[in-house]
C-alpha cells in the first residue's frame, strides 16, 4: 500500500507525491476542512481534544479517516501501510488518538515538520489502532510528513515504541520493512546506480529503490508545470498496474489514486487510476475562515471525471465521522 516521495527543486520548490495502493474500493473523496474545527481523539472519555489551527484539503478513506492531505501552511501528511507496526498498549487513561485521525491531527495543528516531531517526541498521547471495518484486519500504519522548507520525517511504532526518523534527506517511504531497513536497502542500490539496473517488482523494497533513484534523477527545474509533471512521472513509475492484487499482502495492491502536493504554491493535485485527467485545488483560492465543510464526491472507485481547478465544484457537506476506537474495559 503506497509510495511517497519528496522532490526538492531549485528556488525552494518542494513537491510531495504519493500513490495509494489498496486491494479494493477505498471510498476516497476530497474534503476541505476550515480552521477552528473542534475535534476529539475518538477513543472515549480519555480522548485528546484540540481546535484546528490550520485549514486543510484531504483525501479520505471510506469517509472515516484522513489518509493524505495538505494544510494551509504547506505541511503535508500521508499515512502508508506498515505490517510490522506494533502500537503500545493503551492504558485508557493517557490521552488517546484514534489512528483514523493521526494525519488529520498533524494537519490541524502544525506548520512545520519540526513542530510536529517535537510534539510527538513529548509522547503526551497514545495512538490507538483497531480493526478496519469489514476487513477483519488490524490497521497498521506509519506516517510521513513534509513541509514547505523541504524537511521530512517518518513516524512509526515498532515493538511498542514510537520511532521518529527526522531529516531533510528522508525523501522516500514505502511500506515494509520499517524505515531503518528501507534506508539500508537504499544504500545498497545507490552503490549499483539506477542507470545500470533497478529492481522492477511491485514489492515495497523495490518500489523504494526506484523512487529513490527517480526523485533525484528527474529534472531540477524552476518551472512548476515541468516539476509537477516530473513528480507525477516518478510516482506513476512506482505505481502498481490496475487489477493486480495480492490478497495476503495488502502492501502489494493496485494503485487506486495518486496525489502531488506543491508546498510553496499550495496546490493539491489528484489523479484517479480510472480517470483520464488530473484535477487540483489551489489552497489560496479556498476559504478556510468559515464554519463550512466542503467536499468533492469522487464516486465509486473514484470514477467521477474532473479536470483542472475544481474549487467551484466543491459542495457544502456535513463532515464525516472519524472512526473511533472503544475505550478499554476497566
SS3 69: strand
Q: How far apart are CA 145 and CA 153, in angstroms?
A: 5
SS3 169: coil
- The model's pLDDT over 11-70, given as tens digits with 9 standing for 90+, comes to 999 999 999 999 889 999 999 999 999 999 999 999 999 999 999 999 999 999 999 999
Cβ–Cβ < 8 Å for 213, 194: yes
Question: Is 2 in the active site?
Answer: yes
More confidently predicted of 321 and 137: 321
- DSSP states of 85-146 as a string? --PPPP-SSS-EEEGGGHHHHHHHH-SSHHHHHHHHHTT-SEEE--EETTTTEE--EEEEEE
- pLDDT bucket at 107, cuts 50 / 70 / 90: very high
- pLDDT bucket at 215, cuts 50 / 70 / 90: very high
Which span out of 130-139, 141-150, 184-193, 250-259 was modeled with the highest average pLDDT?
141-150
- Among 2, 48, 75, 141, the active-site one is 2
Cβ–Cβ < 8 Å for 109, 203: no
- pLDDT bucket at 176, cuts 50 / 70 / 90: confident
- The model's pLDDT over 259-277, given as tens digits with 9 standing for 90+, comes to 999 999 999 999 999 988 9
Alpha-carbon Rg of the chain, whole angstroms?
A: 18
**Neighbouring-strand partners of residue 96:** 47, 126
Please tell me the predicted confidence (pLDDT) of residue 253. 85
Q: Which three cell numbers stand for residue 131?
A: 480493526
Please tell me the predicted confidence (pLDDT) of residue 224. 93
SS3 313: helix
- The model's pLDDT over 188-206, given as tens digits with 9 standing for 90+, comes to 566 566 555 577 788 888 8
Q: Do strands 278-282 and 308-309 pair parallel, antiparallel, or not at all (unpaired)?
A: parallel
Q: How far apart are CA 40 and CA 58, in angstroms?
A: 18
Q: Which of 162, 169, 83 is nearest to 117 (CA)?
A: 162
Please tell me the predicted confidence (pLDDT) of residue 188. 58
Q: Do strands 14-21 and 255-262 pair parallel, antiparallel, or not at all (unpaired)?
A: antiparallel
Amino acid at each position: 500500500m503506497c509510495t511517497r516521495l519528496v522532490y526538492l527543486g531549485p528556488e525552494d520548490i518542494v513537491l510531495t507525491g504519493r500513490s495509494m495502493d489498496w486491494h479494493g474500493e477505498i471510498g476516497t473523496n476530497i474534503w476541505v476542512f476550515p480552521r477552528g474545527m473542534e475535534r476529539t481523539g475518538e477513543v472515549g472519555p480519555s480522548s485528546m481534544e484540540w481546535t484546528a489551527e490550520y485549514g486543510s484539503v484531504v483525501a479520505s478513506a471510506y469517509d472515516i479517516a484522513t489518509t493524505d492531505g495538505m494544510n494551509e501552511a504547506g505541511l503535508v501528511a500521508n499515512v502508508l501501510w506498515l505490517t510490522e507496526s506494533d502500537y503500545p498498549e493503551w492504558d485508557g487513561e493517557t490521552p488517546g488518538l484514534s489512528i483514523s485521525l493521526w494525519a488529520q491531527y498533524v494537519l490541524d495543528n502544525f506548520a512545520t515538520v519540526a513542530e510536529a516531531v517535537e510534539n510527538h517526541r513529548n509522547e503526551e498521547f497514545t495512538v490507538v489502532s483497531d480493526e478496519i471495518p469489514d476487513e477483519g484486519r488490524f490497521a497498521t500504519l506509519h506516517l510521513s510528513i513534509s513541509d514547505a522548507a523541504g524537511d521530512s520525517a517518518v513516524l512509526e511504532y515498532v515493538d511498542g515504541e514510537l520511532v521518529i526518523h527526522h531529516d531533510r534527506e528522508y525523501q522516500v517511504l514505502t511500506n515494509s520493512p520499517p524505515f531503518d531497513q528501507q534506508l539500508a536497502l537504499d544504500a545498497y542500490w545507490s552503490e549499483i546506480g539506477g542507470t545500470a539496473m533497478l529492481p522492477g517488482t511491485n514489492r515495497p523494497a523495490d518500489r523504494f529503490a526506484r523512487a529513490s533513484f527517480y526523485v533525484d534523477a528527474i529534472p531540477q527545474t524552476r518551472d512548476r508545470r515541468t516539476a509537477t509533471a516530473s513528480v507525477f512521472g516518478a510516482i506513476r513509475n512506482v505505481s502498481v498496474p490496475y487489477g493486480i492484487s495480492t490478497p495476503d499482502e495488502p502492501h502489494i495492491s493496485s494503485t487506486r489514486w495518486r496525489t502531488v502536493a506543491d508546498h510553496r504554491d499550495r496546490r493539491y493535485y489528484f489523479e484517479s487510476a480510472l480517470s483520464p485527467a488530473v484535477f487540483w485545488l489551489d489552497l489560496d483560492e479556498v476559504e478556510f475562515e468559515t464554519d463550512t465543510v466542503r467536499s468533492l464526491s469522487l464516486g465509486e472507485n473514484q470514477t467521477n471525471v474532473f479536470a483542472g481547478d475544481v474549487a467551484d465544484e466543491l459542495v457544502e457537506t456535513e463532515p464525516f465521522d472519524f472512526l473511533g476506537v472503544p475505550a478499554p474495559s476497566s
